[in-house]
Amino acid sequence: MKSIKIKADNLNVHYGEKQALFDVSMYMEKKQVTALIGPSGCGKSTFIRCLNRMNDVIDICKVQGKIEIDGNDIYAPDMQVEQLRERVGMVFQKPNPFPKSIFENVAYGPKIHGIAEHKSDLEEIVVNSLKKAALFDEVKDRLSDSGTSLSGGQQQRLCIARAISVNPDIILMDEPCSALDPIATARIEELMGDLKTEYTIIIVTHSMQQAARVSSRTGFFHLGKLVEVDKTETIFSNPSDQRTQDYITGRFG
Amino acid sequence: MSEHIVSSYDEQLDLINSSLIKMGGLVETQLHNSLVALGDKDTAFAEEIIRDDNKIDALEKEIDALTYKVIAMRQPLANDLRTVLSALSIANDLERMGDHATNIAKRVANVKINMPDTPVSEIVNMGENVQSMIKNVLDAFVQKSDKLAITAWDLDVNIDELYLSIYRDLLKTMAEDPDTITGCSHLLSIAKNIERIGDYVQNIAEDIHFITTGEALERKSEKRIKWEKV
């Protein structure tokens, strides 16, 4: 078995009175893509938001249980949340570049995290991040143009470049292609294949075909529970739980 | 099995399913008619049976086109994917079974072939056994029953035994009376046609097992013909 990067144990999440996750336990392999699928409101986004403690900002959200990254409990009292978020980058459903230049979008993270000491270091990080996100060739002559002037697919790759600029080891992607056309989607999927040589990727997706194409393991969430997690091939050819089968074959939503 | 949210998807899968059942029924009839023609040495009926093979071939093409369309348009997964892939394989096997049944009729239709009476009744008996295997496997398919499929699969060992016994009898007849060699050779081929149909029934039973469980059927016959002892 490949080594484990993230491990969740009996995770329970409440938003006020409402319980969003019930006893979720699963692991995610290092430098692999793990896909999370399930109908809207099933808890998959809540789950990945626990992985970088994004839920901390919601007052009524209460997280119980344990999440370990590289064996360290990320909800331990001495955990520095800023450092955690440096290691766990995130890309959202809708591309959300800052209303700044392409360069500034990518330079922002390294600046605030104090990663780059000199201007030349910063330039190097920006160029490398744009290259890794397969965007550099398309924008190299207009780095001072606004990030919002790019196409949707380019904006999403800019957000990926921004996420990797602070040198994380994990990238969380919450439906990163749902606002993109099939060509831009294919580019992001191809990019994920390249990125997993360096990063552990967790993707939430509503597209069954996308989960099947990009991931090595897939987890199916339903009503706040992790119904089944297995090799992607098994989930889509012969899942063990009837609910998984009904969902992936379009029998309930 | 609960229904798909998109009902037109269910309609397409149902059509594949009903076409296969219809095709299976035609094959069963084709074998039944060939056996009747063989028993009665009815050449006119045999000619009619030969023409009926077209219907089976046409249905296979229809099922091929339907499955192709469902794969292209619906991207079926899990049990749906297994059902659609197996439909292709089952339709192909049924078409071959139809050909074997038709081959029997083709030999019966040839008036110049003089077949000895005694082994004919044994062959018809063997054919009726295979016909009931077909019925069993079609029931298994209709009910998507792994248990019934395995029952049908296991019946093939009886067919192999009957085939061996007929084979021996035909050799004996030919040895005793060389005038019967031509007729007996044709009967040997007919017996072989019937035996092959039994093998295709096993293939279909294996497909049903795959549809229902997602796994290949690992099963061995308890007995195996030892040809060196013949």
Record the pTM. Answer: 0.86
Q: Is A242 on the interface with B (CB under 8 A)?
A: no
User: How far is the C-alpha of B120 from the C-alpha of B103, rounded, in Å?
Assistant: 15
Residue A12 has pLDDT above 60, yes or no: yes
**B5, A253: Cβ pair inside 8 Å?**
yes
Q: What is the pLDDT of residue B110?
A: 83
Chain B contact set for A238 (CB, 8 A): 78, 82, 214-215
Question: What is the reported pLDDT for B228?
Answer: 63
3 state DSSP class of B145: coil
Q: Of A35, A38, A69, which Cα lies nearest the Cα of A217?
A: A35
State the smallest CA–CA distance between residue A211 and chain B in angstroms.
Answer: 13
Q: How high is the pLDDT of residue A113?
A: 86
pLDDT of residue A116: 82
Orientation of helix B156-176 relative to helix B146-154, angle to 10°: 20
Q: pLDDT tens track of chain B, all 230 residues?
A: 678 999 999 999 999 999 999 999 999 999 999 999 999 999 999 999 999 999 999 999 999 999 999 999 999 999 999 999 999 999 999 999 999 999 999 999 987 777 777 788 999 999 999 999 999 999 999 999 999 999 999 999 999 999 999 999 999 999 999 999 999 999 999 999 999 999 999 999 999 999 999 999 988 876 666 666 66
**Chain B partners within 8 Å of A182 (Cβ):** none
Set out the domains of chain A in order of their start, with CATH numbers.
4-248 (3.40.50.300)
- The pLDDT of residue B116: 77
Nearest to B77 among A248, A252, A253 (CB): A248
pLDDT at residue A51, rounded to an integer: 97
pLDDT at residue A11 above 90? Answer: yes
- The alpha carbon of residue A235 is apart from the nearest alpha carbon of chain B, in Å, by 8
The mean of the pLDDT values for chain B is 93
Q: What is the mean pLDDT of residues A123-142?
A: 95
Domain B7-229 has CATH 1.20.58.220: yes
What digits encode the pLDDT tens for the residues A63-78?
A: 999 999 999 999 999 9
Task: Note whether B2 contacts A250, CB cutoff 8 Å.
Answer: no
Nearest beta carbon to residue A238 from set B5, B6, B78 = B78
Q: Determine whether B154 is exposed, middle or buried from the number of CB atoms within 10 Å of its CB (0-12, 13-18, 19+).
A: middle
- Respond yes or no on whether ipTM tops 0.85: no
Mean pLDDT of A5-14: 97
Start-to-end CA span in chain B (Å): 49
State pLDDT tens for residues A189-224.
Answer: 999 999 999 999 999 999 999 999 999 999 999 999
Nearest CA of chain A to the CA of B82: how many Å?
A: 8
Tens digits of per-residue pLDDT, A46-102?
999 999 999 888 999 999 999 999 999 999 999 999 899 999 999 999 999 999 999
In degrees to the nearest 10, what's the CA dihedral of B173, B177, B183, B186?
Answer: 50
Cα(B130)–Cα(B158) distance, integer angstroms: 9
Q: What is the pLDDT of residues A148-202, one digit of tens each?
A: 999 999 999 999 999 999 999 999 999 999 988 999 999 999 999 999 999 999 9
Q: What are phi and psi of A178, to 5 degrees?
A: -70, -20
Instruction: Look at A34 and B117; give whichever has higher pLDDT.
Output: A34
Q: In chain A, what percentage of residues exceed pLDDT 70?
A: 99
CA distance A248 to chain B (A): 7
Please count the residue pairs, one from chain A and one from chain B, whose beta carbons lie less than 8 angstroms apart: 36
Residues A237-241 have a mean pLDDT of 95
Closest C-alpha among B162, B135, B131, B129 to residue B21: B135
At residue A253, does pLDDT exceed 60?
Answer: no
Flag if A252 and B2 touch (Cβ within 8 Å). yes
